[in-house]
Amino acid sequence: MRVLVVEDDPALADGIARALRAEHFAVDVATNGEDGGHLGATEAYDVAVLDLGLPRRDGLSVLAEWRAGGRTLPVLILTARDAWTDKVLGFKAGADDYLVKPFRVEELVMRLRALVRRAAGHAASVIRAGALAFDAQTGQFEYEGLPLRLTAFEWRVLSCLMLRKGVVIERLDLLERVYEGDSDVDSNSLEVIVGRLRRKIGAGAIETVRGRGYRLVDLRCG
Amino acid sequence: MPRSLSGRLLVTASLALLVALAVAGLGIAHMLERFVTHGLDERLDAQIAVVARAVRPDGTIDRGVVVDVPPFDEAASGWAWELRGTRDLLRSASLGSADIVVRDRDRHGPPHFDPFGPDVGRPRPFDGRDPNGQGVHGRVLRLSTGRGAVTIIAVGPRAVVEQPLRAALLPLLGSLLLLGAALAIAILVQLRFGLRPLATVRTMVDEVRNGKRRHLDATEPTELLPLVAALNTLIDTNQIALAQARGHVANLAHGLKTPLAALRLDLAAPGCDPGGRLTAQVERIDRHIRHHLGRARAATPAGVAGAETSIGAHVDDLVAALGRIHADRPVRPIVAIPDDLAVCCDPQDLDEMLGNLLDNGWRWARNTLHVSAERVGAMTRIRIADDGPGLPAGDLEHVLQPGVRLDERGDGHGFGLSITRELAELYGGQLELGVGSAGGVVATIVLPAS
């Protein structure tokens, strides 16, 4: 899961990025409205955290532009403005959730996970595929009833496949959601990560669709 | 001087009216007296002319010429004449042997004026008494002859003047009183009519204060327009100052919240705040900021904004927002609010009150949240009822206190209900919490209808 954080306060942006990375999210940070607007409009993100009072461009106009341009990524507004009128304006501009500063980091993580889960069309918080279970609320994977220990990259790949189980996910799409914007992407590393995952959850769970990408096989259905 | 404007106008107008009536009464009486006296004078002058014919140019008297015509021949009639030469003395029959008059110099003219002074060629008036003590008015003519001065005096009873005067003065006084009464009524009418715009302006100022209107709105009278314009400027200045003050508080609060959020994140890092003491302090600071920010918003003097705010539209927006905030709580809102129902309340304040109540309901509801509104007299009642577990009676009052929160779930900060109540009371309304028939909490907020 890749998150865009648009927040102009460097200390808070750093803190949020650190906390989200600790929960295995890939995080890109933009410190002004223009950069944030551009990133959100051109890169693939699973969810965005958007401050409202931003230098150069106001958060609400960034959000409205994303929506006008057809960007449907879930957006959580994270702001100091706690009046209900501001909340209504935020939702009218196209926000999916609204959190007021200061906040508990667990609350932010929980809300971001829920946004991503709902955006993928899952109403219940636990998603199952065969012996594999993903609690989208806590971010925990279980395999055959036991907690699954994963690295950050493995978690990002597997959660992405899990949220869209049974659907072929393009390689490029997967790469975009696994690597942060400023990292060097080695396309071969994706095969390495998938290989490690297959060793943990069974070779047949992740199917390679030649020339396209990967698919998580829902064993109960398939 | 009376303190009220109408009192001042009434006193000055009444004084002016009294003075005018008195001057008019005295003036008319004086004119009348002169007119009547003039008639008597002509008659006396005619008699003097008749008597004067007896005086020859050399100063001797031709007694044969003098005739005594009525009423000068009647004794004690008050009518009399007398001719005094240096040697001769002629009298009307009415006098008999008595002297004609006792001079009464006080009544007519200044004391130094002597009607018996030198010859001026025409008769001069005087007042006096006849030998019987009756008041008389007389004329004196001094003639200079070769044998010295000749004085001719004729008098008539003053009653001749006074009787018609009295007869005329009574109706005159009556008419003046009637005129005064009519003018007094006119003054009162004028005061009420003329001062009515002042009452209108006062009503409008009250309406501005109560939020029924934004500005004073008057196109007349012209005298009040500068005052109305000045009041409107004052209202605008007030509003700008208020908006600025609110803006400063909001900026301060918002400015503090971001570093506070960063601080809290840092403290959440493992090992940073083992006892949780620092986090508790950060939360305390946050509570204070929220509390005072909420109060600064609530401190709007009721109605300065003076807006008419539709309830339905705002509830719809809030319900849509809450549906997303609580996306994982499948609460079904059932809203029954007439489209045309509006309250006299700043839109942001209404959002704040309803947002807090709806958010509360949403947190506690099991399945449904009923929102309804109705107009009761001059007020509008908005009712928000959840189907949750409800609250014990003792807690209902308790949760309205600042900082108290029974709900430890989510990000509720415990100021919503107390701020909502403060806001409602500021608008002259109220907030009541109760338990509904289904057991859930029913929040009823009463606000002035528009």
Residue of A nearest to B286 (CA): A102
Q: Helices B225-268 & B159-210, crossing angle to 10 degrees?
A: 20
Asked whether the CA dihedral B30, B36, B42, B44 is positive or negative, the reply is: negative
Q: Which string of b and e fits B271-310 if b means at least 16 CB within 10 Å?
A: eebeeeeebeebbeebeebbbebbbbbbebebbbbbbebb
**Residue A47 to residue B407: CA distance in whole angstroms:** 28
Question: Would you say A40 and A4 are in contact if contact means Cβ atoms under 8 Å apart?
Answer: yes
Residue of chain B with shortest Cα separation from A105: B265
Domain parsing of chain B, residue ranges: 5-163, 211-299, 305-450
Q: Across the beta sheet with B135-145, what order do the strands follow? A: B89-91, B80-84, B148-157, B135-145, B124-129, B102-103
Q: What is the 3-state secondary structure (H, E, C) of A125-178?
A: CEEEECCEEEECCCCEEEECCEECCCCHHHHHHHHHHHHCCCCCEEHHHHHHHH
Residues of B in contact with A101 (CB under 8 A): 257-258, 260-261
Q: Is A80 on the interface with B (CB under 8 A)?
A: yes
Inter-chain contact B265–A114, Cβ cutoff 8 Å? no
Buried-state track B166-192, b at ≥16 Cβ within 10 A, e below 16: eebbeebeeebeeebeebeeebeeebe
Partner-chain residue, chosen from A53, A90, A98, that has the shortest CB–CB distance to B254: A53
How many helices and strands in chain B, by DSSP H and E? 8, 13
Nearest Cα neighbor of B137 from B124, B110, B155, B115 is: B155
Output the CA torsion B418→B419→B424→B430 (10° steps). 0
Residue of A nearest to B247 (CA): A81
Query: With an 8 Å Cβ cutoff, are B257 and A87 in contact?
Result: no
Q: Averaged over A138-167, what is the pLDDT?
A: 90
Cα separation, B446 vs B292, in Å, equals: 24
A-B CB pairs within 8 A amount to 101
Nearest Cα to A86, choosing from A63, A120, A104, A106?
A63
CA distance A190 to B34: 133
Tokens linked to A141 = 């994977």
Q: For residue B320, how many C-alpha atoms fall within 13 Å in the half-sphere facing its CB?
A: 15
Bridge-based pairing state of the strands B89-91 and B80-84: antiparallel
**Residues in A touching B309 (Cβ below 8 Å):** none
Q: Cβ–Cβ of A9/B356 closer than 8 Å?
A: no
Closest CA to B214 of B305, B331, B335, B107: B305
CB atoms within 10 A of CB A8: 18
User: Can you give the pLDDT of all 450 residues of chain B as single tens digits?
Assistant: 778 888 888 899 999 999 999 999 899 888 988 888 898 888 888 888 888 888 877 777 777 777 777 787 777 778 888 888 777 778 877 777 776 655 555 445 444 445 566 666 788 888 777 777 778 888 888 887 777 778 888 888 888 888 888 888 888 889 999 999 999 999 899 888 888 888 888 888 888 877 677 788 888 788 888 989 999 999 889 888 888 888 888 888 888 888 888 888 888 878 888 888 888 888 888 888 888 887 777 665 544 555 688 999 999 999 999 999 998 888 999 999 998 899 888 888 899 999 999 998 998 899 999 999 999 988 999 999 998 888 777 777 777 776 555 554 444 545 678 888 888 888 888 999 888 887 888 999 999 887
What six digits make up the tokens of B96?
């008999």
Contact between residue B137 and residue B155 where contact means Cβ atoms under 8 Å apart: yes
Residues 6+ apart with CB under 8 A from B315: B335, B337, B354, B358, B371, B373
The answer to whether A15 faces chain B, any CB pair under 8 Å, is: yes
Coil, strand or helix: which one is B97?
coil
The better pLDDT of the pair B114, A48 is held by: A48
> d(Cα B111, Cα B80) in Å, to the nearest integer?
24
Q: What is the DSSP letter of B246?
A: H
Cβ neighbors of B151 (< 8 A, separation 6 or more) are: B82, B83, B84, B85, B116, B140, B141, B142, B143
* Cα B151 to Cα B117: distance, rounded to the nearest angstrom: 10
Q: What phi, psi does B96 have (nearest 5°)?
A: 65, -125
Mean pLDDT of A27-34: 94
CA distances from B212 to A150, B207, B302, B310 (A): 64, 5, 10, 15
Cβ B113 vs Cβ B180: under 8 Å: no
DSSP per-residue string spanning B196-217: HHHHHHHHHHHHHHHTS-SS--
Query: What integer best gives the mean pLDDT of chain A?
Result: 89
- Residue of B324, B349, B358, B420 to mutate, testing the A interface (most A Cβ within 10 Å of its Cβ): B324
Structure tokens at B415: 């100021």
What is the Cβ-side half-sphere exposure of residue B37, based on CA atoms within 13 angstroms? 16
- For residue B287, the surrounding DSSP H or E stretch is helix B277-298
Across A49-58, A174-183, A193-202, least confident range: A174-183
Query: What is the predicted pLDDT for the residue at B320?
Result: 93
- Confirm if A87 and B362 have CB atoms less than 8 A apart: no
Residues of B in contact with A118 (CB under 8 A): 327
Query: Between chains, do B265 and A105 touch, taking CB under 8 Å as contact?
Result: yes
CB atoms A104 and B327 under 8 Å: no
**Tokens (6 digits) for B221:** 């009278």
From CA A143, how far away is CA A128, in angstroms rounded? 10
Do the beta carbons of residue B103 and residue B169 sit within 8 Å?
Answer: no
- A121 part of contact set with chain B, CB < 8 Å: no
Please choose, from the candidates A178, A148, A145, A147, the residue with its C-alpha nearest in 3D space to the C-alpha of residue A161: A178
Instruction: Give residue for tokens 């004196």.
Output: B140
Instruction: Tell me whether A125 touches chain B (CB under 8 Å).
Output: yes
Nearest-CA distance A113 → chain B (Å): 12
Asked whether A95 and A61 are in contact (CB, 8 A), the reply is no
Verify whether the Cβ–Cβ distance B324 to A98 is below 8 Å: yes
Cis peptide before A102 (omega within 30 of 0): yes
3-state secondary structure of A38: helix
pLDDT over 70, % of chain A: 98
What's the distance, CA B103 to chain centroid?
60
User: Is the pLDDT assigned to residue A40 strictly greater than 60?
Assistant: yes
Domains and CATH numbers, chain A: 2-119 (3.40.50.2300), 146-216 (1.10.10.10)
Judged by a CB distance cut-off of 8 A, whether residue A83 touches chain B is yes
Which of A53, A84, A104 shows the shortest C-beta gap to B352? A84
Query: In a 3-state reduction of DSSP, which class is residue A2?
Result: strand
Q: Residue B331: name the closest of B343, B322, B344, B318 by CA.
A: B322
A-chain residue closest to B313, CA distance: A88
Residues of A in contact with B282 (CB under 8 A): 102
Q: Residue A1: which of A158, A194, A167, A165 has the closest Cα?
A: A158
Each residue's pLDDT tens digit, A81-138: 888 999 999 999 999 999 998 888 889 999 999 999 999 988 888 998 888 899 988 8
Which chain B residues are closer than 8 Å to A88 by Cβ? 317-318, 320-321, 351, 355
Query: Which residue carries 């946050």 as its tokens?
Result: B286
User: B305-450: what fold?
Assistant: Heat Shock Protein 90 (3.30.565)
Q: Check B327 against A118: CB less than 8 A apart.
A: yes
Say how many C-beta atoms besides its own lie within 10 A of residue B137's C-beta: 24
Query: pLDDT tens digit string along B88-138?
Result: 778 877 777 776 655 555 445 444 445 566 666 788 888 777 777 778 888
DSSP B356: H
